[in-house]
Amino acid sequence: MTAYGEFRSQYQGALEDSRLIFYGIRYILENYLHRRWTEDDVEKADMFFSTHLAPAAGTYRYPKDLFLKFIRENDGYFPVKLEALPEGSCIHAHVPVFQLTTQGDFAPLCTFMEVLLTMVWYPSAVATLSRRCRDRIEEAFDKSVETGRDSPLLGSRLHDFGFRGCTGVEQSVLGGVAHLINFDGSDTLSAAYYAQFVLNGGEPVASSIPATEHSVMTAWPSERAAIDNMIDQYGDGLFACVMDSFDYAKALGKVLPAVAQHKLDRGGYMILRPDSGDPTEAVLMALQAAEKVFGVDVNAKGYKVPRGCGVIQGDGIKYERLASMLEAVLEAGYSAEAVAFGMGGGLLQKVNRDTMSFATKLSHVVYEDGTPADIMKAPLNAISKSSLPGVLAVKRVDGVPTAFPADSGEVAPEENLLRTVYDCRPVQVNWDKFTQLRRRVNDEWHALPTQADVASASLKAKVKDCLAKLRKRQTD
């Protein structure tokens, strides 16, 4: 039996751009599929399934014999072959991203791992969302920053604030690392650590700066004292202060001028952080206050850059708002380099399996008598939920990863982007170091057209043929 996974839609609401990033299969593979099952595991499953309530159906059945068989005959490794696109592949919706194959007695286990592998929707969605934000920031940099998107500041313009908005620590690692493909700014230290030491051979991946949150601002005798302390401690470098603990307008209008000379004496860069109210208004207020207190330089592209002071907006940020805020900032005459964004739940939690409609479906069966059959799901009234039939392969056509029937003869083995990453046991995979993966994603993303037809003519013909047979077969 053969099954495959695909994103059935482009990023929700992204009408003009169906590019997406496939990322995260390695984590599932190394943390779950590489695990050897034992007879003790089956005993536990037995205890569970024999008591799991199945009203009026007696003891709950599960494939115990097959579990014991692969424990005894396959060293406990789950007997499935997994092919997958390279981590970080930039593709369009409807391109198969992985394919599962099972053989012989183990055939019925083909979709047993489906629910686990389907979880790849998550890091893929975060990577894509974060990359889409980067697109908007790159455009704003091209317009308003002297060195455009080549500015070294760009990588820190979207900062991950999402740890506490995650459902648990595992998610923070998965989502946080997916963001780090596109940016280096992150306070999700679980992910920063994992990316550096597990995925990048110890070479640093993420960055952050000293910053206050409300407990610091409110614990000092006054806001001014809290900021003075930050300047004492970190005033020769970059540091951020949250400004809305009590009265944001007053913090900008009275406290900032009061600490200005101290800040100038130390020579560093101060980042103002609003955290409530209308985000766009709050950011413009901060930029105006920075201009008034520290002055601005006008760069070669005619945009104002406040001197030694910027703003980070970390409250209420989502993709659409980030895009409209950048427009408002440029409209007000300020350069995009003066503004960074912090994104928490919006980045790591406000995505779901429907964001890019991920699904795993069975596509090919060889019956016990040797007859092969290409199969597909094709709900008449929900054609967007249709799946692809047959064993699949993916190769680049004019640079665009495109789906083919594996038996079409059109995809040579070395051209096939679906590569075996597990074959009934761990296999050697040469995973890219994280810094290489970052570069590759960046290059692939920019090279990929925003829209493309990703089904080969031969696959379209097979779909058509299969659909016709299916409609007939339904009531046979």
CA dihedral sign, ordered 217, 221, 227, 229: negative
* 407 annotated as ligand-binding: no
3-state secondary structure of 359: strand
Total of chain residues touching a second copy, rule CB under 8 A:
109
Tell whether residue 265 is a contact of a second copy (CB under 8 A).
no
Q: Can you tell me the distance from the alpha carbon of 203 to that of 40, in angstroms, rounded to the nearest whole number? A: 39
Tell whether residue 474 is a contact of a second copy (CB under 8 A).
yes
The stretch near a second copy (CB under 8 A) out of 58-66, 81-89, 139-147, 416-424 is: 58-66
* 315 annotated as ligand-binding: yes
Closest contact distance (angstroms) between CB of 419 and a second copy is: 23
Nearer to a second copy, 197 or 461 (CB): 197
State the residue for tokens 């101290």: 262
Q: CA-CA distances (angstroms) from residue 120 to 25, 130, 199, 356, 383?
A: 6, 16, 17, 11, 23
- Residues 339-398 binding a second copy (CB under 8 A) are 344-345, 349-350, 352-354, 360-362, 365, 373, 375-382, 385, 387
Closest contact distance (angstroms) between CB of 156 and a second copy is: 7
Q: Which two structure tokens, joined as six digits, stand for 461? A: 């013909």
- Residues 65-94 binding a second copy (CB under 8 A) are none
Exposed/middle/buried for residue 259 (C-beta within 10 Å: 0-12, 13-18, 19+): buried
Closest contact distance (angstroms) between CB of 200 and a second copy is: 11
Tell whether residue 13 is a contact of a second copy (CB under 8 A).
no
* 247 annotated as ligand-binding: no
- How far from chain centre, in Å, is Cα 195? 14
Tell whether residue 99 is a contact of a second copy (CB under 8 A).
no
Q: Can you tell me the distance from the alpha carbon of 151 to that of 137, in angstroms, rounded to the nearest whole number? A: 11
- H helices of 184-276, in order, are 189-197, 214-219, 223-234, 248-250, 256-266
Nearer to a second copy, 13 or 221 (CB): 221
- Residues 124-163 binding a second copy (CB under 8 A) are 156, 163
Closest contact distance (angstroms) between CB of 40 and a second copy is: 13
* 471 annotated as ligand-binding: no
HSE value, Cβ hemisphere, 13 Å, CA-based, for 316: 14
Q: Left, alpha or beta for 126 (phi > 0: left; psi -120 to 50: alpha)?
A: alpha
Q: Do 470 and 378 touch, CB atoms closer than 8 A?
A: yes
Tell whether residue 204 is a contact of a second copy (CB under 8 A).
yes
- H helices of 267-377, in order, are 279-294, 319-331, 345-348
Q: Can you tell me the distance from the alpha carbon of 282 to that of 315, in angstroms, rounded to the nearest whole number? A: 10
Which of 13, 104, 221, 370 is close enough to bind a second copy by CB under 8 A? 221
Angle at 465 between CA 464 and CA 470, to 5 degrees: 95
Tell whether residue 59 is a contact of a second copy (CB under 8 A).
no
Tell whether residue 56 is a contact of a second copy (CB under 8 A).
yes
Tell whether residue 447 is a contact of a second copy (CB under 8 A).
no
* 401 annotated as ligand-binding: no
Nearer to a second copy, 430 or 474 (CB): 474
Nearer to a second copy, 52 or 301 (CB): 52
Which of 34, 35, 52, 433 is close enough to bind a second copy by CB under 8 A? 52
Name residue 264's amino acid.
Answer: L
Encoded one letter per residue, x for contact with a second copy by CB under 8 A and - for no contact, window 32-51 reads x-----------x--xx--x
Nearer to a second copy, 261 or 428 (CB): 261
- Residues 225-254 binding a second copy (CB under 8 A) are 225, 234, 236-239, 244-251, 254
- Provide the 10 A C-beta neighbour count for residue 136: 21
Nearer to a second copy, 144 or 349 (CB): 349
* 275 annotated as ligand-binding: yes
Which of 150, 170, 232, 320 is close enough to bind a second copy by CB under 8 A? 170
Tell whether residue 328 is a contact of a second copy (CB under 8 A).
no
CA dihedral sign, ordered 101, 106, 108, 110: negative
Exposed/middle/buried for residue 40 (C-beta within 10 Å: 0-12, 13-18, 19+): exposed
Nearer to a second copy, 193 or 431 (CB): 193
Q: Which residues are annotated as a binding site?
A: 164, 187, 214, 273-275, 314-315, 345, 353
Q: Which residues are annotated as a binding site for beta-nicotinamide D-ribonucleotide?
A: 187, 273-275, 314-315, 345, 353
Q: Which residues are annotated as a binding site for diphosphate?
A: 164, 214, 273
